Structure 1
Amino acid sequence: MPDRVQTSRGDVTESTHLVHAAVVHSSGRLLYSVGTPTRTTLLRSAAKPAQTVAILEACNDTFAFTAADLALMSASHSSEPRHMQRAAAMLNAIGSSESDMRCGGHPPLSMAVNRDWIKRDFTPGPICNNCSGKHAGMLGGAKALGAGFADYHLQQHPMQIVVKRVVEDISGVDAGNMEWAVDGCNLPAPAMPLIGMATMYARFADATGNARSGQEQRMKRVFEAMCAHPEMVGGEKRFCTELMSTYGNLLIGKLGADGCYGVGIRESECTRSLGLPTGGIGIAVKIEDGNIDILYAAVMEILTQLKIGSEETRKSLQNWHTPLIRNTVGIITGVTSHMFSVRKM
């Protein structure tokens, strides 16, 4: 049977979700796999940490972005007031406005925020977009490059040319093995084998203790910003925020739409226990049918099988790991089961 996560009610298997994952050392060496670790996958918002590095390179210190700003650039946020206020402050500092943004508004990822908007008959604009931090940052990059705000979202714009090069550099995937498509927020999104995505996250983790080049220094800033401000990366009751808050500065984690997730784990006792004397590791996960709840459960199962973090740490995230299925009166009617093992390569 293929590697999968199953949900069941009683003795009946209700749904089966195929899992693919790659666990990679910062050298690019594949350490463990689940399913097909070479599966070409659109990173979607899991590419944001690398896109933030590209923004920093393009800006070249033109703007004094704070750690919270960098976390918001790397975020798929919940459109909470703090997120929109931070995006607005970034636009003001850059000298741009919401009308310059080429992302649209949408219902928030937070149910609580959505209820509030409905009560107020609020119509969301671009600054409410869960990717508004990234768009604000790219407007800053476009200005610093002298390329103007118009068309900053198109692949031929100088800002996106920097993004493309930086993503190739960090992932180690050359242009011939990478594809690009338009993301939900109207920006280019890369597609690459899961091994390349995992390598990218491993190199982010490795940069925290081994940053020599300018690019590695920027990667270190982004990693540390996400660890310092996990509330900006997601929001209340969001997996990315709770994962990083619980693990402290050990790792970063970032969701990509349609069932994609990246984790970067810095060198530690956890990585050394896997027989790695030096270097960070990266994990890239893809759920074949795009189910996000199953994605979070699979990420936690992989972290558990690799024994990343203490048992107490992992146990505090149990609701994400093995979510129970409840009916409308709160009775438990089903369970989530992990039907895969990480295979050592």
Structure 2
Amino acid sequence: MEVLERLFNVALVVATLRTTAPILLVALGGSFTTKAGIFNIGLEGQMLVGAFFAVIGTIFTGSPWIGVLCGVAAALVLAFVFALLVVTFKANEVVVGLALNILAGGMTVSLLKAIFGTRGSIFGHGLVGLPVLRLPNARDLGWFGQMISGYTPLVYVAFILVPVLILFYNRSRLGLYIRVVGEKPEAAEALGISIARIRYVSSLLCGLLAGLAGAHLSLGYTTMFTENMSSGRGFMAVAILIFSNGDPLKILLGCLLFGFSDALSLRLQTFGISSYLVLAVPYLVALIALFALSYRARPRIIQETLASMGRALSVKPNAATDAEKAVTRG
């Protein structure tokens, strides 16, 4: 009982919200491209360059906010390249996304070596993290005050964006255009909507939030940069986008699940459990979630398969009869 109290408490909830924020930001960014009909697997790379250039901008200017702008700018450049190749040149979106992920990983390692003469990680050098916001009178609210106060600004931005994007997709003209382009591109063309322009805008909005996610990772969640520090969070976001179909509320629930598993894995390390097993917890949760999704969709797939078999069988007798008639006539 005492072990459970040490494991499941307010501190775990706070850690869950902290670990959820970067995944939530990048997944909400991916909702733009998902809604626009683009499967964007390059979220990992956009997040990684955002984290790296946020650190570079902060070190050279001394301001974490300028660092955030640098991280967002770098992610936007990668997002523009993705849109250029996929939308304009009609390249395969999965191949382009994987290539940009590899490019981001190699580029950050090379620049880390070229600028600082080291590999692995960079900290110090005047690096300043994002400020922590303390809400007034939060201490008077007890455990609830602990849950809502003491985070960096981008954590609040991540959760506030959920209702904002719900309204955006359902009430704004651009949001409706994005949905039409993704769901009914023929209708979009009939209405005179430029599919290429909407997909460019969606890709850039995705890069904006992916850059914020990376900046939060290196300046808010930690105050350093390490090689491949996105650690698969971009791929987790892709997994969440697959079963949520870009719906912000479902994205929030999926990200909270992954954030909880990540926070739980960090706390399990204090109980002497092998670090290899602990680090596998978030990915195990991802596999279970995807398996549950595919299992739930299995009846529909079986029904579609049986229906297609039925259509095929219903055609065969007619085809056989026609063949017999042809032979008889011959």
TM bucket normalised to smaller:
under 0.3
The structure with the largest helix share of the pair is 2
TM-score by length of 1: 0.26
Select the structure with the greater relative contact order (CA < 8 A; seq sep ≥ 6).
2
The structure with the largest strand share of the pair is 1
TM-score by length of 2: 0.27
Max radius of gyration: which structure? Answer: 2
